[in-house]
Amino acid sequence: MMVIQFYENASLDNDWVEIAKKEVDEPEGEDEIAERLEQLRTLITDRFEEPIGEDILSETNLKRFLRSSKWDPSEACLVFLASVQLVCDFPKYLLPLEKSRSASALSFAASGREDHGSRVFFLKLGQWEPSKVSIEAFYSYTFAFFQLVSTEPRTQVGGVVGVVDLTDFGFKHLRALGIQELRCLGNFLSGGFPVWFRAIHFVNNPRLFNTLFTILKGFLSERIKNCITFHGYTTAELVASVSPALLPASLGGSCDKSGIDMTVGKCLSAMEEHEKEVKEGLDQLVAVGKMKQKKK
C-alpha cells in the first residue's frame, strides 16, 4: 500500500499564489519580492559583527520569516532574532529525533488542510505521561516538527490551526510545566518562530488548567491571546471552526483511531526522512546565536 506523503515542499501554484496574496500580503511582482528579500538580508546582516551564512540568507529560508510577518522586512527581522534567541535560551529542547520520537503520538498534524490552507496541528497534552516522556522530549519533538512544516510554502501562507486536547489533564502535568517551560512556549507562539497561528483551540479543559494558563498568558502576545478559544467539554463550536474530516472522532470529527494512527505515522515518517534538514536548520539558528550582535 502506497503511503501518501505528509511533507509538502512544492512551490505555490496559481491557487496558492492567490491564497498567499490574501493571507500574507505576498507581493505580486518578482521585483517587489526581490526587494523585500534584500531588505531583510540587510537588516539581519547589519545586526551582527560577523558574516551570516549563505544558507540562512537564502530566498527559501528568508521567505519563512517574511510570510510569517506579512512580508514586512522589519517584522520579519524581529521574528528571526526572536527565533535565534529562543534556541539560545532553551537549548535543552533541541534533542535529536531518536531521543524525542517517544512524543510522536502526542503532537502531530492532520494529513489534509483547511480550505484556507492551514495545517491543523494537534497537541494531546492531557495524554502526556511526564514519567514516561520527558518534557525535553515532548518539547523537542514539537519544536522539530514545526521547524519541518515551517519550510512548507503552503504552511507559510496558510498558517497553522492548533487544537489542544486537555482530556485527563491533571496535577502531574501542572507540576511538569514550570515557569521556564511556559516562557519557552509563550515565546515560541508569540513571534519566536516563523509560523503564524490562525487559531488555537483548547478543548476538554478542566478548571485546573486555568491555573497554568493564567501564568502562560503573561508570556503571550495580544495577537495570540485574541486567537485562543476555550471550548470546555463541548465540541460543537470546534467542529464548526475546524473541518470535521480533519478532527478525531473523540473531538466530534470523522477521523477514527486507525486514521489518527496513520496520520501520526505519516508525521513521524516525514520527520525521519527530513531529520538532517531539520537539524541543519536549527543548528544554523544556534550558530547565529553565538555571534556577537552590534550595539544598537
Q: DSSP letter string over 170-226? A: -HHHHHH--HHHHHHHHHHHTTSSS--EEEEEEES--HHHHHHHHHHGGGS-HHHHH
Residue (of 98, 78, 81) closest to 285 by Cα position? 81
Instruction: State whether 118 and 41 are in the same domain.
Output: no
Instruction: State whether 186 and 260 are in the same domain.
Output: yes
Say if 296 falls within a structural domain: no
Instruction: State whether 86 and 189 are in the same domain.
Output: no
Say if 7 falls within a structural domain: no
Say if 5 falls within a structural domain: no
Instruction: State whether 73 and 148 are in the same domain.
Output: no
Say if 205 falls within a structural domain: yes
Say if 104 falls within a structural domain: yes
Q: Whole domain around residue 84: which residue ranges?
A: 14-90+277-289
Say if 6 falls within a structural domain: no
Say if 84 falls within a structural domain: yes
Say if 9 falls within a structural domain: no
pLDDT in tens, the chain (296 residues): 334 578 998 889 999 999 999 999 999 999 999 999 999 999 999 999 999 999 999 999 999 999 999 999 999 999 999 999 999 999 999 999 999 999 999 999 998 999 889 999 999 999 999 999 999 999 999 999 999 999 999 999 999 999 999 999 999 999 999 999 999 999 999 999 999 999 999 999 999 999 999 999 999 999 999 999 999 999 999 999 999 999 999 999 999 989 899 999 999 999 999 999 999 999 999 999 999 998 76
Instruction: State whether 254 and 118 are in the same domain.
Output: yes
Query: What pTM, to 2 d.p., does this model score?
Result: 0.94
